[in-house]
Amino acid sequence: MGSGCRGALLCKSSLAFLIPSSFTSSHLRFNKSITNSNSYRMATGASSSSASVTGGDTVNSSVNKGAAPSASSAIDFLSLCHSLKTTKRAGWIRRDVKDPESIADHMYRMGLMGLIMAEIPGVDRDKCIKMAIVHDIAEAIVGDITPSDGISKAEKSQREREALDHMCKLLGGEARAQEIRELWMEYEENSSAEAKIVKDFDKAEMILQALEYENEQGKDLDEFFQSTAGKFQTKLRKTWAKEIASRRKKAN
């Protein structure tokens, strides 16, 4: 969707991504003057979107699969993710929804969708839950970019991949960072059964939230229902969308 604020760009200097463990969330506020791609890449160190590189070290199969981030790295990462709790989704802001949900609110309910979904042969339910938690994580840095921002899909993807590179680097590039990267990339590329399900979670959660705002605030948010019509990829999610549409019809 999108966020009213532009997230947190790490732009204190050309070495902005080399943040010491003592950083605070006040360092993570997006500067609206930094919106073009050249400035953004300077702020992020111009990390490549095609390479799984963090701090010059390629993340590969040699990663220690049992390694967890240090306490310092973990708290740095979690503090960075704080902005997911405070950044509101822009689609609702632009439609004057009062007290709109945050990015974290959206991801949390998607995680619940994974928790309660039926068992499906060949589908890893736990992976769906993890992917739901991870799918918008780069927005902790770049914000929730929407088509209304005038940023191309390619540029949006580039910014998010660079943000993800930084977040994985912050975790030390070990097993947990690699897992987050793989889940995020799989979702972005829609390359697995789990990714297709979580993509549908994303749409279903949005229209459920739209229905709730319509009921609570008397809004007409039909455009959100129209934008997802016919775009669900999985049978289970189609049934959920049908149920949401049925409840909307009854409410009207």
Contacts of residue 225, defined as CB under 8 A and 6 or more positions apart, other chains included, come to: 207, 210, 245, 248
Average pLDDT over residues 39-63: 39
Residue 100: what residue type? P
pLDDT of residue 63: 52
Average pLDDT over residues 77-83: 96
Average pLDDT over residues 91-105: 95
pLDDT of residue 69: 83
Listed residue (131, 99, 132) closest to 205, CA to CA: 132
pLDDT of residue 197: 96
| Residue-wise pLDDT tens digits, 106-145 | 999 999 999 999 999 999 999 999 999 999 999 999 998 8
Q: How far apart are the C-alpha atoms of 51 and 45, rounded to whole Å?
A: 14
pLDDT of residue 81: 97
Listed residue (63, 188, 229) closest to 196, CA to CA: 188
| Residue-wise pLDDT tens digits, 139-188 | 999 998 887 788 888 999 999 999 999 999 999 888 999 999 999 999 99
And the tokens for 248? 């909307």
Q: How far apart are the C-alpha atoms of 127 and 219, rounded to whole Å?
A: 35
pLDDT of residue 66: 60
Q: How far apart are the C-alpha atoms of 51 and 109, rounded to whole Å?
A: 31
